[in-house]
Amino acid sequence: MQDLQLLEARLQALSRAARPTQVAIQVTELGGGGSCSGTIIDAEEGWILTAGHCFEKPGQAVEIELPDGRTIPGTTAGLHCEGNKDCGLVKFDPVEGIVAARLGPSARLVEGDWLAPFGHTHGFMKDRAAVMRIGRVVHQRDHAIDLDAPMSGGDSGGGVFDLQGRLVGIVSTTSGEPTLGSMCTSDFAASRLADLKASAVTGGRTMDPAELQAMWAGERGEFEPTGDAGRGAPGVRAIMGDVTTPWLQSVCQVMVDHRPVGMATVIDASGVLLAKDSDIGRSSDAVEVTLPVGTAVRARRVMRDRDLDLVVLKVDGDDLVPIEWADDAIPPSGTIVVSASSQWNGESWGITGLDGLRENAVDGLSGFLGIRMEQGTPDGPGLKVIEATIGSPAWVAGLRAGDRVLRLAGQSVSAQGDIGRIVRAYGGGELLLIEIERDGAPMSLLTRVTVRPDDRRIMQSTALFPASRRASGFGGVVQHDTPLPCMRMGGPLLGLDGRAIGINIARPDRTATYALPASRVRPLLDGWIEAAKAGTTLPTVAPIDLWPPMQQSGARWIGHPALAELEGSSLIYAFDQRVDPGVIEGWTDPLARCAWVAELDPGAYDVFIEAGLVGEAQRFATIDVGYEAPSAPDAHHGEDGAPDQPADQTDRSKRVRITATQPPKERVTGRMKLATFPAGRIEVLERGPVVVWVGRPGAADLVVGRLTLRAVDAAGNPGEDAPKADPDE
């Protein structure tokens, strides 16, 4: 523990010394623009060291974002990019108030040495400094060193420092998982500096634009396992276990419909807990909590905090152990943090990556509605819609040009920026109520918010570490680099003293985890606990009352992807502005499913599902399509009066084979082709709400589009108003 405390002190000091040397570089001439990171290595002459693959050739104009917020011009100089040899220079006119890093010897590094990379992950973001991560040397290969720090697109070119504050590498390549990447060594870069500087005058090597575009798209290298040299080495795991073990009694697992959805933190001995609200939802009564002793008990929802995405749960009990909270101080960058869960995983630790809180409301991870509003002072109530992009959630809801948006999610809309502010607090797939005025008459519309068209969470997610569906709009959060799956949000984030710094709330991408700081949670605890003890209960809402129903057209019902209920932390509704109606993707959780609801009369209905796969031809996956409908009122009974087999003998689920080779009837999106597949028949015995669901995907690359129900008569023929062939015609 003393070693870890010393390491933490070194990292905090390193953060203060190294971050002022880090810059973001906007390469405006490269295929429409791109962003990478760099390190100032000479403040007097004006040189920035970065990765060679970050630009195409010498002489390109760039914009340099300095750590203090200033933007200055620069020009690319020489570059070297051959396999592991990946370095380049950018020249700028020196300005006052900048700090340069000192190069250190990378040849002295050995497996197990601690390193700290910095970078502008996913590109430069206003008011966000370069993010700090922690890793260890796991392999050495020629002029590159592999380390197990979380890195991703935008980090390329960022500085990698040793614990003495020396620049020993340049972020170069990332892998398919969040904690493996490589750096070009400082020794190789130093050996090329003279040539790279000369190229600024004489010209030098250029790179093929197509090759560069592939690198910008996130080309990843192949890496060997970390073994016992990395962050999860046995000795480190044992010490981290000493921190979290005393508090395993304060963390529970939450299940909805027998599906694990996250963690819960005990805040009162009487059985009051906090969990992530958007992962639990409101449409199921089957919310259970597995207590630390292993017993599963039913939980009731007490109240929810929409802004913080927290829900208060109450279980029976009077001997639970509430978490102990840290003071209200925000931990500085480099602070070691441990994420406690119901079962300790020794690799669930990391460091805070930024000084102060990360305001994540405007960072490309927020919800998207798809409307353009009239600018200037409103000439009437609310704001006037100029355009609703076809296929967007606003368009799906029925919003059209000329409508006036009065309220969103119960909040008044009256000024420019109100809509963006409200929608940013929603994740892909969450329901949003839109109150409008059309031709003087009030109307209410319901839709599901999508992720932004430029959102890169799916691309930056991995099978083991998918992004959370809602990852923005919480206000200030603590950002740390713990590789924590999104299915483990809701547990406490501990410091080395074992006290809770905050509650883990979202996994925004493959490199970071967000936590709500204790300073935002503690003032609300007394009110939550009092409400739980008073018996306050949030009612469960039936799907037909909560979800937007499938849209009926004659004898068919259409389930738009934006209207589906998304069950599973990784699922999102994605809309790329090129297709209608978008798709549901993110099938990294094997228990995830999407569902639609419709009010149906008794009868038979054929089911068709639109789906596709990303990837090569001849690939396939299997998915299950099923339904839940009211039971027959006259079910058969045995001699003892107990219910026997139900009158409805129809198999309520069907396995469907989805292939990457598509039939002629298809819809093309930005990345794949979708085809319509028959998915069986459902039998409705009495009028009522029917839920049709799709789940159990056989591949993470699956995408699901529209679901169609088509009424059939007693002879099995389509209804009069139904299409005669493919429901997509």
Q: Which of 451, 486, 517 is the last residue of a domain?
A: 451
481 and 559 in a single domain? The answer is no
CB under 8 Å to 142, separation ≥6 — which residues?
Answer: 83, 84
Vertex 183, ends 180 and 187: CA angle to 5°?
Answer: 150
Residue 343: pLDDT band with limits 50, 70, 90: low
Report the amino acid identity of residue 470: R
Three-state SS sequence of 327-384: CCCCCCCCCEEEECCCCCCCCCEEEECCCCCEECCCCCCCEECCEEECCCCCCCCCEE
Distance in angstroms (rounded) separating the CA atoms of residues 340 and 346: 10
**Is 299 among the domain residues?**
yes
Residue 503 has pLDDT above 90, yes or no: yes
Is residue 227 in some structural domain?
Answer: no
465 in the same domain as 434 = no
Q: Output 257 or 21, whichever has higher pLDDT.
A: 21
Regarding whether 400 and 470 lie in a shared domain, the answer is no
What DSSP assignment string belongs to 448-507? Answer: EPEEPTT--HHHH--SSSPPPS--S-SSEEEEE-----GGGTTSEEE-TTS-EEEEEEE-
Q: State the residue range of the domain holding 12.
A: 2-216
User: In terms of domains, do 297 and 378 share one?
Assistant: no
Contact 501, 515 (CB under 8 A): yes
Q: What percent of the chain has a predicted confidence (pLDDT) above 90?
A: 42
Residue 404 lies in a domain: yes
Domain presence at residue 146: yes
Is residue 717 in some structural domain?
A: no
Specify the number of domains making up the chain: 4
Q: Could you tell me the pTM of the whole model?
A: 0.83
Same domain? For 529 and 403 the reply is no
Q: Is the pLDDT of residue 648 over 70?
A: no
- pLDDT average, residue stretch 401-415: 92
| pLDDT tens digits for range 588-645 | 777 788 999 999 999 999 999 998 887 655 567 788 898 887 653 333 333 333 334 3
Residue 307 DSSP symbol: T
CA distances, 27 to each of 42, 61, 73 (Å): 20, 7, 11
**How does pLDDT run across 521-578, given as a tens digit for each residue?**
999 999 999 999 999 999 888 777 777 889 888 899 999 888 888 877 677 777 665 5
Average pLDDT on 497-521 reads: 93
| 701: phi then psi, degrees, rounded to nearest 5 | -90, 10
Whether the per-residue pLDDT at 126 is higher than 50: the answer is yes
Mean pLDDT across 151-157: 89
Residues 507 and 589 in one domain: no
* Domain endpoint, select from 415, 432, 451: 451
Same domain? 675 vs 548: yes
Q: What is the pLDDT of residues 160-194, one digit of tens each?
A: 999 999 999 999 987 766 778 899 999 999 999 99
Is residue 722 one of the residues assigned to a domain? Answer: no
Q: Which residue in 96, 99, 91 sits closest to 18, CA to CA?
A: 99
Q: Is residue 519 part of a domain?
A: yes
pLDDT score recorded for residue 376: 73
Q: What is the pLDDT of residues 37-94, one digit of tens each?
A: 999 999 999 999 999 988 888 888 999 999 999 999 999 998 988 877 899 999 999 9
Integer angstrom CA distances of residue 17 from 12, 220, 589: 9, 30, 41
The residue out of 422, 451, 480 marking a domain boundary is 451
Q: Do 519 and 461 sit in the same domain of this protein? A: yes
Q: What is the pLDDT of residue 221?
A: 41
Tokens matching residue 265: 């933190």
Shared-domain flag, residues 375 and 500:
no
> Quick check: 338 pLDDT over 50?
yes
State the greatest distance between any 2 C-alpha atoms of the chain, in Å, as a whole number: 97
Closest Cα to residue 325, out of 468, 515, 512? 515
User: Is residue 105 in some structural domain?
Assistant: yes
**Is the same domain home to 27 and 160?**
yes
Q: To which H or E segment does residue 598 belong?
A: strand 593-600
Could you tell me the CATH number of the domain that includes residue 142? 2.40.10.120
My answer on whether 320 and 289 are in the same domain is: yes
pLDDT digit string (tens) for 362-372?
555 667 888 88
User: Residue 6: what residue type?
Assistant: L
Segment among 270-284, 441-455, 655-669 with least mean pLDDT: 655-669
Residues 634 and 554 in one domain: yes
